Structure 1
Amino acid sequence: MPDDPSTWATGRLLSHVARGLERQWNNHLDGWGLNHASLPVLLHLLRGGHSQREIAALSNVTEQTMSRTVARLERLGYVTRTPDPTDARRQVVLLTDAGRTVAAEAARPEQGEAIAGTGLTPEQMTTLREILVDMVRAQAPDAEPDPR
């Protein structure tokens, strides 16, 4: 049976699951006008203002992509851009009160865990999280090989 997932390569399995989770996560975030790309921006800004360039680097996207994301968040009233008092050429992106509230509501871990954990036992979910954390750490630009 060619469509039997047990015969798929691991990369195909991960890609398939990731796309499905992204769709479900975007459906959840749509209630606030957000998507999988815009919520991390709000979360980065919870720690303080950043330039678009800094947010793009933190989010691992291009500055052009970040420009569109920030513009959308600004239209929604979740962020503002203000001139940097130390560099007139630079703008600082800051959360509004609405943005802070939305970030807290939309990012509640229970919903994400429910979406990601569908069909898994608590033990499988724990194992999956451990594996994914290892994979994320291994993809970090300054990652060193795990000595295990």
Structure 2
Amino acid sequence: MQEDSGPARALDPASPDPAQWPVGRLLSAASRRVERDWNAHLANWDLNHASLPVLAHLQRGPMSQRELAAACGVTEQTTSRVLARMERTGYVTRSPHPDDRRRHVIAITDAGRQAFIVSADRDLAENLVTRDLTAEQAEQLRRLLAVVALPDPARRTTD
């Protein structure tokens, strides 16, 4: 019987060295680090990783809470909590839907639009993730993450 000496055998999920961790743990740890750094940046405007996409979607125009939740890929309950905070900061308004009083229309305010513009700096966001990578490595990471992020594994390619 031949002993397997492939890379999976050498990985140690309990190791303090991230190079020894399985890919899932690496991705999770990287994601948490980036989220902490990004949230620290966004806190300057009383925003976080959950509220910024709300402002991004509302740039296109008012939406119902249900539409906003679907666009952000979260539940209406989560959206409701995010919107409550954003309403208190003056970044969004909630008003009754003109045709259905049970629904609300969410709109971005001028303050919300300004906070989005200054907080969503793409270069800063990219640098939070790729600060120690070469341009080539950063592009390779982008391509690989795009593949991993696809919901349908049958569509995955690395070309």
Listed as ranges, the matches of 1:48-59 within 5 Å are 48-59=61-72
1:24-83 superposed Cα distances (whole Å, 9 cap, x missing partner): 000000000000101010001001111111111111211111101001000000000112
Please give the secondary structure, in 2, of the residue aligned with 1:124.
Answer: helix
Q: Distance in 2 between matches of 1:147 and 1:30?
A: 35
| TM superposition outliers: structure 1 runs of 4+ over 4 Å | none
Q: Distance in 2 between matches of 1:95 and 1:147?
A: 36
1:35 to 48, 52, 55: 48
Q: Give the gaps of 5 or more residues in structure 1.
A: none
1:127 to 140, 152, 157: 140
Deviation at 1:129, TM superposition (A): 0.8
Deviation at 1:147, TM superposition (A): 7.0
Corresponding letter in the other structure for 1:89: R
Partner of residue 146, structure 1: 155
1:95-139 superposed Cα distances (whole Å, 9 cap, x missing partner): 000111111111110110110112111100011111112222x22
Partner of residue 118, structure 1: 131
Structure with higher Rg: it is 2
- Contact 2:37–2:128 at 8 Å: present in 1 too? yes
- Contact 2:95–2:104 at 8 Å: present in 1 too? yes
Corresponding letter in the other structure for 1:145: A
Matched, 1:70 2:79: no
Using the size of structure 1 for normalisation, the TM-score is 0.91
Q: Which has the higher contact order (CA 8 A, sep 6+)?
A: 1
Aligned residues: 144
Q: Distance in 1 between matches of 2:30 and 2:23?
A: 11
**Paired-residue identity, %:** 49
Corresponding letter in the other structure for 1:19: R
